[in-house]
Amino acid sequence: MCLAIPGKIVSITEEDAINRQGIVDFEGIRNSVNLSFLPEATNGDYVLVHVGFAISQINEEHANSVFETLREMDELEDLKEESP
């Protein structure tokens, strides 16, 4: 199963339209994410990330709902173990 994970953009590190990159916080885990598909996304926005690409903007309520579901499934610990 493929799953997109919500995260909050904490910084945008590259503004180039094709290689737009940012740091996204996934409940304490921070990773570099490609933001090219979401040129309107800014710091503080919540996005859904799949295989390193932000694919959709979401609101904070939706992000928190997904994180609560992941907590109930004990999947957040798996994310922390997989983080580089």
**pLDDT tens across 3-60, in order?**
889 999 999 998 887 889 999 999 899 999 999 999 999 999 999 999 999 999 999 9
What's the CATH architecture for 5-82? Roll (2.30)
Cα angle 40-82-75, degrees, rounded to a multiple of 5: 85
State the distance between the two ends of the chain, measured CA to CA, in whole angstroms.
22
pLDDT of residue 43: 97
Using the predicted structure, report yes or no on whether residue 80 has a pLDDT greater than 60: no
Count of beta carbons in the 10 Å neighbourhood of residue 7: 25
